[in-house]
Structure 1
C-alpha cells in the first residue's frame, strides 16, 4: 500500500490587472511543490501556461520566509516566492462624507487657501469617481 503525502505549496502575489473590461484585484496565488532537495525547492507555476518546473534556494527561503527570483519579470507572480501565504494590505475605502467636509473647510470663503481647496476637491472627486465605478 502506497503512502499518501500531503501536497505542499509555495505562495506568490499576482498584481492587480485588467482582463477585458474587468479589474482583477491583487491576490495571493499558490504554486505546488513538486520536490525538495537539500539545496532547492522545485515548484510548478500555476495557470499561466508554464509547465516548466522552477526552483528557489531552500536555505534562503526557510531562513527568511521569502526569496526573490533574479530572472523573474515584474509581472510574474513568483518574482518573490513565500513560504507562508503573505497578508495583503487592503486599501481602506475613502469616506466621501469626511472628504466633502474637508473640502468645505478648506474653501477660501471659510478661511482656507486656494491651494488647500483645490487639493481637497481633487481628493473628493477621485474618491467619488472610484465609488461610482465600484
Structure 2
C-alpha cells in the first residue's frame, strides 16, 4: 500500500525575461518550492538549489513580499501574467478621427486630439517600415 504523494507548496515570482535588454512584458512565472515553514519564516529554494527565507507573518498578511537578496517580489498565490495593452490600428485611429470631426457632431478639441494620435501612429509606422 503506497502513501499519497506529499503536496508541494511554492512561492511564486513574476519574472520578466527581457528586464535588461529589451521591451518589458516577456513574463514567466517561476515557482520556488517551499522546503520548511516555522512560525516566523518560510524557507524556499531558488537558483540551483540555493535556500532563502521570508517573513511568514508578513507574506501571509500581504500575500506578497519583496525578497531583498534575490531582488524579486514573491507571491503566495500564483500571480496573473499582465497583458500588454493592444495598440490601435491606423484604420481604427482614422475612424476615431473621422467620428470626432465637428461636421459629424464632435468638438474641435476632440478632433485635434484624435488627429494628433493618428499622425503620431502613422509617423511611428513609417519609421518602423524604413
TM-score tier after normalising by the smaller chain length = 0.5 to 0.7
| 1:123 Cα deviation from its structure 2 partner | 2.8
Between the aligned partners of 1:89 and 1:24, the Cα distance in structure 2 is 8
Between the aligned partners of 2:2 and 2:59, the Cα distance in structure 1 is 30
Give structure 1 stretches of 5+ with no counterpart.
74-78
The counterpart of 1:101, out of the listed 59, 79, 95, is 95
Is the 1:103–1:124 Cα contact (8 Å) retained in structure 2? no
TM-score by length of structure 1 reads: 0.64
**For residue 80 of structure 2, what is the aligned residue in structure 1?**
87
SS of equivalent to 1:93: coil
| 1:69 Cα deviation from its structure 2 partner | 1.6
The structure number with the bigger radius of gyration is 2
Give structure 2 stretches of 5+ with no counterpart.
101-107
SS of equivalent to 1:121: helix
| 1:86 Cα deviation from its structure 2 partner | 1.1
Q: C-alpha deviations, 1:20-63, integer Å up to 9, x for none? A: xxx981122211111111111111115xxx42111111111111
TM-score by length of structure 2 reads: 0.66
